Amino acid sequence: MQVTDQDLQYFVTTLKNVSKYDFSEYSDKSLKRRLQKILEDSNFDLTTLITTLRVDKNFVERIVKEITVNTTELFRDPPVWHLLRSRILPRFKNNKTINIWHAGCSTGQEVYSMMILLNEMEMLDKAKLFATDLNVDVLDAAKQGIYKYRFNLSYLDNFDKVIKQNPLNFEEYIDVPYEKYFDIDKVKDTITMKKFLTEKPIFRKHDLVTDGNIFFAKFDLILCRNVIIYFNYSLQNKVFELFHSNLYPKGLLLLGMHETILGPWANKFERLGQSYVKK
């Protein structure tokens, strides 16, 4: 069965009526595909799905988790991490504290990547990391900091590119052992982040659509990568407003490799590489 626009509308409206979740400003194409997948995986027809949503709160939570997309990897897109290392983070070198918000942190790989980089730059002690996601299951995984070794194997190359290369001279190789930050158990197929990393960030459930800023803090840096691609133009603008008003002056916003600020908020930021600096 192919999900129609009407089906999607019906689903979104129901969800909005029975819970606090509002997907009405999500990007249609992706949402339709997620709904399609939920129907195929669960073997429900739309009517059964809707009926169940109305009576079963746990089912609502489960469906919301299945709607969200949770792709992430250690040091995803190394050029972005080179930018962080060479041009973004050095701006905060003389700060007493650095507040960083990972909005849409998924299973946490980006948060751990950031802590590893900060530690290599001797800035971890003064950093405060806040990490949020809509999906509490991925947050639990993020808190644990345990990942599949084989699945993440290729991303260790990213670690090498970002951490072991001298940012000023790519020919030079700095030997940073993995064990400094995580333990690899090939038999159990796990990568386990060290305790000094897992206990540092504050992980919280958060909905970018409705929740605003839930921390009593403003931020020097907000990372929100490959999240707004699932939002429509109007919701994107609301999120940019939220980020802009909660960044310190000269604070930076970092979006995904192929995300950009369109519309009215574009001229409230200046570009630095692919990041956005609050004017």
| Span of 110-118, 169-177, 213-221, 259-267 interacting with another protein by CB under 8 A | 259-267
Among 153, 202, 214, 262, binds another protein (CB under 8 A): 262
Q: In whole angstroms, how close is the CB of 29 to another protein at the nearest point?
A: 5
Longest pairwise C-alpha distance within the chain: 61
CB 229 within 8 A of CB 254: no
Q: In whole angstroms, how close is the CB of 199 to another protein at the nearest point?
A: 28
Q: In whole angstroms, how close is the CB of 220 to another protein at the nearest point?
A: 25
* Rounded Cα–Cα distance for residues 65 and 86 (Å): 36
CB 203 within 8 A of CB 131: yes
Q: How far apart are the first and last CA of the chain?
A: 49
Site for another protein in 57-76 (CB under 8 A): 69, 71
Among 13, 16, 40, 79, binds another protein (CB under 8 A): 79
Among 153, 174, 214, 257, binds another protein (CB under 8 A): 257
CB 112 within 8 A of CB 81: no
CB 191 within 8 A of CB 147: yes
| Span of 9-17, 88-96, 202-210, 255-263 interacting with another protein by CB under 8 A | 255-263
Cβ-based nearer residue to another protein, 176 or 229: 229
**Any contact of residue 245 with another protein (CB under 8 A)?**
no
**Any contact of residue 77 with another protein (CB under 8 A)?**
yes
Among 92, 101, 147, 230, binds another protein (CB under 8 A): 230
* Rounded Cα–Cα distance for residues 200 and 257 (Å): 27
**Any contact of residue 48 with another protein (CB under 8 A)?**
no
Q: Which of 203, 243, 226 is nearest to 115 (CA)?
A: 203
**Any contact of residue 195 with another protein (CB under 8 A)?**
no
Q: Which of 65, 81, 203 is nearest to 145 (CA)?
A: 203
Q: Which of 124, 106, 104, 91 is nearest to 200 (CA)?
A: 124
* Extended strands (E) in the chain: 98-103, 127-133, 146-148, 165-166, 169-173, 182-185, 190-193, 202-205, 219-224, 247-255, 269-272, 275-278
Chain centroid, CA 256 distance in Å? 10
Q: In whole angstroms, how close is the CB of 226 to another protein at the nearest point?
A: 5
* Rounded Cα–Cα distance for residues 132 and 241 (Å): 18
Cβ-based nearer residue to another protein, 27 or 213: 27
| Span of 24-32, 132-140, 178-186, 243-251 interacting with another protein by CB under 8 A | 24-32
**Any contact of residue 29 with another protein (CB under 8 A)?**
yes
Q: In whole angstroms, how close is the CB of 217 to another protein at the nearest point?
A: 28
Task: Give the contact letters, 147-176, x = binds to another protein (CB under 8 A), - = no.
Answer: -------x--x-------------------
Instruction: Tell me which residues touch another protein (CB under 8 A).
Output: 27-30, 33-34, 69, 71, 77, 79, 154, 157, 226, 228-230, 233, 256-260, 262
